């Protein structure tokens, strides 16, 4: 699960991590109150930050929601020392469309902005924490190239990314915190401030079951304070039951409607850009199915794992989700019968296809327990399924159907 920058900063504050002060705003009435509140705190520099679940906000473009051709503003993050200018930026950003390199050309409507204090600083740095699955350890990555996408740094100057792996049995040690501070070239008060900063940040990452915590940029202010100027946090969905206060941050407006619908039925679904709907049991088999569709010349429209207990109900819900995508022109069902019997899945496919009056071609490949009985059921039905014996044959049949 992803959350917004202002929400991540609310969490980090609880762990004594210094962050940029600010107030989230959803309409202009709230903006006027927030502006007055920040001025009352002695703040006289302002940053108006768009809040969407995508990177590159500062380099994005704001378009009029009523006329997509009308460019209102260059950049979704704007700095000013003038209150009236901050108001002007907010009016142009709120309720309009922000397009960045991560949103795609359709962009996202900005429904919340973060009115934050403008800080003077002398250095921008990068800091990220995530799980390195190859060694089963969390890794802290730092770089002197703050304010730049880490992917670009990794591609162009990988030597500028310094990594420190954390042994889960002992946690982050003081010598590792110092090592990271030296790697960033910190000295004096900035060096001293960084040690508690990174230790508190790592504690926040671990205790919230985060899967990613990224500070970009991490700044060194003119008076040598270490402050998180931006913050991005993602969380392990499987651990959210332990954190209802974090789950409450979920913003459904930022998620794909089909993915939200699939989650209601405990289906693992991710929408893609192709035209072949995929229904598979098991994440690994689903990935392999998408790969072989691509090799056969097709384009998968989705990742859909219906789980190990596929039955009529899960198949029907799978059809419902897949067919909600207008780009789907054919469906490939690929089930391996281990826990579940293939004949039961086949009957579920037949019943669901009849009830939902599925109009697009369906290619079915069932292998494993009672696969022969399943094939007989499909052949005896009055529905026109294309039945395949191998995954390669299934992919070739579904792409052939698309070409006809």
Residues in binding site: 49, 56-58, 119, 124, 216, 230, 281, 338-340
201 backbone dihedrals φ, ψ, rounded to 5°: -65, -45
Token digits for 165? 């792996």
213 backbone dihedrals φ, ψ, rounded to 5°: -135, 115
Taking the alpha carbons of 295, 297, 303, 306 in that order, is the dihedral positive or negative?
A: negative
CA angle 190, 212, 27 (to 5 degrees): 85
The annotation places the binding site for substrate at 281, 338-340
Taking the alpha carbons of 258, 263, 267, 268 in that order, is the dihedral positive or negative?
A: positive
Contact status, residue 102 vs residue 54, Cβ threshold 8 Å: yes
Estimate to the nearest angstrom the gap between the alpha carbon of 306 and the chain centroid: 21
Neighbours of 309 (CB within 10 A): 12
Token digits for 328? 């789907």
Which three-class secondary structure state does DSSP give residue 308?
coil
Distance, in Å, from the CA atom of 375 to the CA atom of 388, rounded to the nearest integer, reads 9
Distance, in Å, from the CA atom of 230 to the CA atom of 58, rounded to the nearest integer, reads 11
The residues that are catalytic are: 126, 214
Distance, in Å, from the CA atom of 33 to the CA atom of 46, rounded to the nearest integer, reads 14
The annotation places the binding site for ATP at 49, 56-58, 119, 124
Tell me the residue length of the chain: 404
Enumerate residues 6+ apart whose C-beta is below 8 A from 15: 200, 201, 203, 204, 207
Number of H-type helices and E-type strands within the chain:
13, 20
Where helices occur in 130-170 by DSSP H, the ranges are: 150-156
Instruction: Find the helix or strand (DSSP H, E) in which 110 lies.
Output: none
Pairing between strand 108-109 and 330-337?
unpaired
Enumerate residues 6+ apart whose C-beta is below 8 A from 88: none
The annotation places the binding site for Mg(2+) at 216, 230
Contact status, residue 28 vs residue 63, Cβ threshold 8 Å: no
What does the DSSP 8-state code read for residue 59?
G
């Amino acid at each position: 699960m992803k959350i917004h920058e202002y929400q991540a900063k609310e969490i980090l504050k609880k762990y004594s991590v210094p962050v940029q002060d600010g107030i989230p705003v959803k309409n202009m009435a709230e903006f006027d109150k927030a502006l007055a509140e920040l001025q009352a705190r002695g703040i006289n520099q302002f940053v108006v930050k768009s809040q969407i679940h995508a990177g590159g906000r500062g380099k994005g473009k704001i378009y009029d929601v009523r006329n997509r051709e009308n460019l209102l503003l260059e950049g979704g993050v704007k700095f000013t020392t003038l209150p009236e200018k901050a108001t002007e930026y907010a009016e142009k950003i709120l309720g309009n469309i922000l397009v960045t390199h991560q949103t795609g050309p359709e962009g996202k409507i900005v429904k919340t902005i973060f009115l934050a204090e403008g800080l003077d600083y002398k250095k921008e740095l990068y800091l990220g924490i995530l799980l390195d699955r190859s060694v089963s350890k969390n890794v802290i990555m730092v770089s002197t190239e703050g304010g730049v996408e880490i992917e670009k740094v990794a591609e162009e100057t990988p030597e500028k990314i310094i990594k420190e792996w954390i042994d889960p049995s002992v946690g982050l040690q003081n010598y590792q915190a110092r090592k990271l501070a030296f790697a960033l070239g910190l000295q004096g008060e900035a060096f001293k401030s960084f040690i508690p900063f990174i230790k508190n940040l790592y504690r926040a990452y671990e205790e919230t079951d985060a899967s990613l915590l990224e500070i970009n940029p991490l700044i060194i202010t003119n008076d040598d304070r270490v402050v998180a100027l931006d913050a991005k946090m993602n969380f392990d969905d499987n651990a959210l039951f332990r954190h209802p206060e974090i789950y409450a941050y979920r913003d459904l407006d930022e998620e794909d409607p089909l993915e939200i619908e699939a989650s209601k039925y405990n289906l693992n679904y991710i929408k893609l850009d192709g035209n072949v709907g995929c229904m598979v049991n098991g994440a690994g088999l689903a990935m392999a199915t998408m790969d072989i569709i691509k090799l056969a010349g097709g384009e998968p429209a989705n990742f859909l794992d219906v789980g190990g207990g596929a039955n009529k109900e899960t198949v029907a819900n799978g059809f419902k989700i897949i067919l909600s995508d207008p780009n789907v022109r054919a469906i490939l069902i690929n089930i391996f019968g281990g826990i579940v019997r293939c004949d039961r899945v086949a009957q579920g496919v037949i019943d669901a296809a009849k009830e939902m009056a599925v109009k697009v071609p369906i290619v079915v490949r069932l292998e494993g327990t009672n696969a022969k009985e399943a094939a007989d059921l499909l052949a005896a039905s009055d529905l026109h399924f294309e039945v395949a014996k191998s995954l390669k044959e299934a992919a070739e049949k579904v792409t052939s159907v698309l070409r006809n």
